[in-house]
Amino acid sequence: MEHQFWQEKWQANEIGFHQDAPHPLLQKHFPTLAPAKGGRVFVPLCGKSGDMMCLQQQGFDVIGLELSEIAAQAFFEENHLQVTVSDAGDYKRFQSAHIEIICGDFFAVTRELLGDISAVFDRAALVALPPEMRVQYVGQMRHLLEPGVEGLLIVLEYEQDIISPPPFAVFQEEVNSLYGHWCDIKLLEKAASDVKGKPCVELACRFRVL
């Protein structure tokens, strides 16, 4: 998906993927991961997701990464958080006490810009991307994460042609092939759900970088 596709979605407020309420699988499974409270949780392709507030309320600092400045601004406004905005090279940094969003391209971001990452939460990030970009996405993730970092990944299994993506269907076999050679992966739950009104199965997977 090109940048323009997502920028236009945000400009037109066509953000059917957005949920104010935290994802139930985040609430259920993130507390079973290892990161110490006070650690920094990376939320790639974060949008203005309510999941970030939930992580902060669980005692973590949050570092989100998002292309759209509309999304970042809306997140801080809608959650009534005081924010300072500064330039960081090609990126813009939106910073509040415990939640930060870096605005710019995930695929070019550096470890230095993100700082320490203790854990990852991926909902609607991997599945937002077409197959060839998913390989690049996981390659960049591997580059950004230190051994021992744990993540919670949520993907959707459904017959790809029943809806027009995104989100894309990502089956457990693909998760294993993308993450299995550099992470320990565990399937935590398969839950019945729906995607654009059609039935699907949501998978919650834990990964730990080897």
Ligand X SMILES: C[S@@+](CC[C@H](N)C(=O)[O-])C[C@H]1O[C@@H](n2cnc3c(N)ncnc32)[C@H](O)[C@@H]1O
List interacting residues with ligand X (CB under 6 A).
6, 17-18, 45-47, 49, 65-68, 71, 105-107, 123-125, 128, 166
Q: Which is nearer to ligand X, 130 or 199 (CB)?
A: 130
Q: What is the closest distance, in whole angstroms, from the C-beta atom of residue 210 to ligand X in the complex? A: 25
Q: Which is nearer to ligand X, 5 or 159 (CB)?
A: 5
Dump the DSSP string for 73-113.
Answer: HHHHHHTT---EEEEETTEEEEE-SSEEEEES-GGG--HHH
Q: Which is nearer to ligand X, 115 or 148 (CB)?
A: 115
Helix, strand or coil, per DSSP, at residue 206: strand
Contact residues for 71 (Cβ-Cβ < 8 A; gap 6+): 10, 46, 47, 48, 101
d(CA 97, CA 126): 28
Q: Which is nearer to ligand X, 135 or 180 (CB)?
A: 135
The torsion defined by the Cα of 37, 123, 179 and 138, in degrees rounded to 10, comes to -100
Q: What is the closest distance, in whole angstroms, from the C-beta atom of residue 172 to ligand X in the complex? A: 20
Distance of CA 48 to the CA centre of its chain: 11
Q: What is the closest distance, in whole angstroms, from the C-beta atom of residue 99 to ligand X in the complex? A: 14
Q: What is the closest distance, in whole angstroms, from the C-beta atom of residue 180 to ligand X in the complex? A: 23
- Nearest residue to ligand X by CB is 47
- Residue in the block written with tokens 């090109």: 2
Q: What is the closest distance, in whole angstroms, from the C-beta atom of residue 41 to ligand X in the complex? A: 13
Q: Which is nearer to ligand X, 136 or 177 (CB)?
A: 136
